[in-house]
A and B are shown apart, each in its own frame.
Chain A
Amino acid sequence: MRKLSISSSPHHHIRRDTGQVMRMVCYACIPGILANIWFFGFGILIQLALAIATALITEGLILELRKKRTERILKDYSAVLTAVLLAISIPPLAPWWVIVIGTFFSIAVVKQLYGGLGFNMFNPAMAGYVLLLVSFPVAMTSWLPPQSIAEQSYSFYDAVHTVFTGFTTTGFSIEQLKVGYDGITMATPLDHVKTSLLQGYTVSEAQQHLILDGAFGKGWTWVALAYLAGGLFLIKTKVINWHIPGSMLFGALILSLLFYMVDPDQFASPVFHLFNGSLILGAFFIATDPVSASTTNKGRLIFGFAIGVWIIVIRNWGGYPDAVAFAVLIMNMAVPLIDYYTQPRTYGHKKTAGKSS
């Protein structure tokens, strides 16, 4: 039994500062990044290096222009985290200018022009990602197949060479690296199933493909599981709350289950939606951005659930195979409204009309 301990006020301590929280999230990405390297090669490391360098330079320059305390703000690691999230979202061998433009836009326009950390309405990494996806559709959809089923493998030096020149040291282009050992260009599992459905195949026929083991994408599933481990670590250490990831996964799973029960030929199973694409990464690392997400617990539940629903809707009927970025941006716009209607009751006050607690 613990003894009663008495301490003087304040009793509520700040456990971590912003920099520590941001660093923890970066560290929690490491398992996912390692899994990505294992299955898809070294490309992601180069993207990470380029993104972090661009983010720090851009943030530093703009803070100097705005006459802020540059060194102190740079140490809050928020720019690094944005860079990391953007770098792990784009294809590993995308040309160098893709990640540079995207990171610059994220930091300069989405974050600093709105007033810096704490004032940005939109998630910077996802706004940068959408800018890139809309602007450079070819480069942004050049995903490689897992190295185990690819025809060509590539080394670290090849990765550097491809990012900067478009070709490996032996002269293969990204298009050639995308070819699987059956000689056919590979797409991502989500993209493949979407295209097959449009061509009139059923989901189970589409899942016969080389890139899938049933509902599980080869390689992709392990990367998703690695991010899940990182995300659970974040919840365990109380860096993020369970509300957003929990309600987001619940929303996505319940809606996909509903459609799957209506017509399993036309709609993929919840398991497929969970382990392919970036649903897990988005739930634990992206939607939980403390600035652009809802700030009350009830609001977080609504925010996460709606993102999950949007993801399934856009994956099924939208023009793009994956939807985390769009869903997060749509719900970022709804955050002021959600926060307005979920204000908690102030201690000692009654509920006010129109603002249910």
Chain B
Amino acid sequence: MNEYKDLSLQGIWKNNPALVQLLGLCPLLAVTATVINGLGLGIATTLVLLGSNITVSLVRNFVPNEIRIPIFVMVIAAFVTIVQLLMNAFTFELYQALGIFIPLIVTNCAIIGRAEAYASKNPVQLAAFDGLMMGLGFTLILVVLGAMRELLGYGTLLTGADLLLGDWAAELTIVVFQTDSPFLIAILPPGAFLGMGLLIAFKNVIDKWIEKRMASEKANKVVERARVTGTDI
């Protein structure tokens, strides 16, 4: 059970693919103009990660070491095609909004990285869980960055929720403020870089704060013991 806890912590915080490994930045920066775009791409990436990690882990004992990379890429490409066709069928407008960035999931280094570093060396259930947690960590950052940019740029949250969730979700859109002159830079690519930099800085601040607390707790725990035996020898 401890292994699972460790995997969750690694995927979502300590070794987060977007914040710490800085992998998959291209789609991360390109599509996060709104929360829903980020969430859509995050879910797609998570599904691909889950599928590729399971498959790679299943075939890990049959794959010759010399040609493992092409095989992993083909596995990933197969899953990306599946996800792409599914999105085309069920969330067509979101599929159009994300455009080229769905097929580009193949080139997301976070996925091949997990296949190579974890799934090809570990049993199926652990590999699957690792894929899920890494995907969730990635999705989390996509959503947070999307929320920051959408809030600053358009003054709304969850616009286009109906594209992902169906017609009932159109009411989920929250208008925080209305403006005639939107803060365009938040929506344009520079805003993504600025937002990403701020998120990484924020994570580092939290990490430092936790470290400090741990250190001070440890210092408090040291108990000075009075020596009661052998003092007079």
| Chains A and B are bound partners | yes
Task: List residues of A whose CB falls within 8 A of some B CB.
Answer: 101, 109, 113, 131, 134-139
Inter-chain contact B194/A136, CB cutoff 8 Å: no
Q: How many residues of B contact A (CB 8 A)?
A: 9
Q: Are B194 and A135 in contact (CB under 8 A)?
A: no
**B99 is an interface residue with CB less than 8 A from chain A:** no
The number of A-B residue pairs with CB atoms under 8 Å apart is 18
B57 to chain A, nearest CB (A): 42
Is residue B74 within 8 Å, beta carbon to beta carbon, of the partner chain?
A: no
Q: Do A109 and B194 form a contact, CB below 8 Å, given A135-B183, A138-B181?
A: yes
Closest Cβ–Cβ distance, residue A218 to chain B (whole Å)? 29
Distance (Å) between the CB of A36 and the closest chain B CB? 24
Q: Is B190 an interface residue, CB under 8 A from the partner?
A: yes
Which residues of B line the A interface, CB within 8 A?
181, 183-186, 188, 190, 194, 201
A sample of 18 inter-chain contacts (CB < 8 A) reads: A101-B183, A109-B194, A113-B201, A131-B185, A134-B184, A134-B185, A134-B188, A134-B190, A135-B183, A135-B184, A135-B185, A135-B186, A136-B181, A136-B183, A136-B184, A137-B184, A138-B181, A139-B181
Question: From B186, which residue of chain A is reached at the shortest CB distance?
Answer: A135
For the complex of A and B, list the 3 residue pairs with the smallest distance between their C-beta atoms, beginning with the closest: A135-B185, A135-B184, A134-B185
Give me 9 other A-B pairs in contact (C-beta within 8 A), A131-B185, A136-B183, A139-B181 excluded: A101-B183, A109-B194, A113-B201, A134-B190, A135-B183, A135-B185, A135-B186, A136-B181, A136-B184
B173 to chain A, nearest CB (A): 23
Query: A interface, by DSSP: helix, strand, loop or mixed?
Result: helix
CA distance A36 to B183 in the complex (A): 28
Residue of A nearest to B153 (CB): A135
Q: Which residue of A lies closest to B184 (CB)?
A: A135
User: Once bound together, how far apart are the Cα atoms of A113 and B197, in whole Å?
Assistant: 11
- Which residues on the B side are within 8 Å of A113 (C-beta)? 201
Contacts of B188 in A (CB 8 A): 134
Contacts of A135 in B (CB 8 A): 183-186
CA of A139 to CA of B181, assembled, Å: 8
Bound Cα distance from A139 to B180, whole angstroms: 11
Q: Smallest CB–CB gap between B108 and chain A, Å?
A: 28
CA of A129 to CA of B194 in the docked complex: distance in angstroms?
16
Q: Report B-chain residues with C-beta under 8 Å of the C-beta of A136.
A: 181, 183-184
Distance in angstroms from B204 CB to nearest chain A CB is 13
Q: How far is the CA of A265 from the CA of B190 in the complex (A)?
A: 37
- Measured between beta carbons, the chain A residues less than 8 angstroms from B183 are 101, 135-136
In the bound complex, what is the Cα–Cα distance between A32 and B118 (angstroms)?
64
Q: Point out the residues of chain B lying under 8 angstroms from A109, CB to CB.
A: 194
Closest B residue by C-beta to A95: B181
* Cα–Cα distance between A155 and B181 once the two chains are bound (Å): 26
A200 to chain B: closest CB distance in Å?
30
Output the residue of A109, A113, A131, A139 with the most chain B CB within 10 A.
A131
Q: Which residue of A lies closest to B188 (CB)?
A: A134
A346 to B188, CA, bound (A): 46
Tell me the nearest residue of chain B to A137, going by C-beta: B184
Nearest chain B CB to A255's CB is how many angstroms away? 28
How far is B193's CA from A109's CA once the two chains are assembled, in angstroms? Answer: 13
Set of chain B residues within 8 Å of A101, measured between Cβ atoms: 183
Bound-state CA distance A137–B183 (Å) is: 10
Q: With both chains docked as a complex, state the minimum distance between the C-beta of A140 and any C-beta of chain B, in angstroms.
A: 10
- Beta-carbon nearest neighbor of B201 in chain A: A113
